Amino acid sequence: MAEDEGTTNLEVATNTNISGRMRMLSQRLSILYAAFYGDLPEPTLIPNLKGVSENLQMGLSSLITSSINTTEIDDAMAGVIQEWNIVEKRCTQDNCLMYEAKSMKLDEMFTVANRFLTKVDKVVGMYAKLIDRTN
């Protein structure tokens, strides 16, 4: 756990960076989805949506399995995962992201992405506080 002497600034900084990147990716997801939902004639929208989603999934996997997480961080990550699960359930089929169906209304995507952003922002702050403990 993060309270252990073995936690390094590098580990904490890495998790802070990953969680901060997830904030940005949640914003990008909602913007790309809005463009796609509005039928913007851009051939890269679906590949970009899928790429952002894959990066979000990788970030979540990395953070939820991190050995430096405190109980509080694990609890906060559960809320982040809860929001991501909404997108997964509505936009995936057979474990493959399928945005083509426009299965979420635009306002739903914005609401979920905003809650995701708020919850992951809290996690970023929690990791930043760990840096203070490791110094």
Provide φ and ψ at 80, rounded to 5°.
-65, -45
pTM of the full predicted structure? Answer: 0.85
pLDDT at 6 over 60: no
Query: How does pLDDT run across 83-130, given as a tens digit for each residue?
Result: 999 988 887 765 556 676 777 889 999 999 999 999 999 999 999 998
The whole-number pLDDT of residue 39 equals 87
Q: Strand pairing partners for 93?
A: 96
Contact 9, 135 (CB under 8 A): yes
Domain residue extents for the chain: 9-134
Q: How far lies 41's CA from each of 35, 91, 102, 108, in Å?
A: 9, 20, 15, 22
Most distant CA pair in the chain: distance in Å? 53
Query: How does pLDDT run across 54-90, given as a tens digit for each residue?
Result: 999 999 999 999 999 999 999 999 999 999 999 888 8
The whole-number pLDDT of residue 96 equals 56
**9-134 — its CATH code?**
1.20.1440
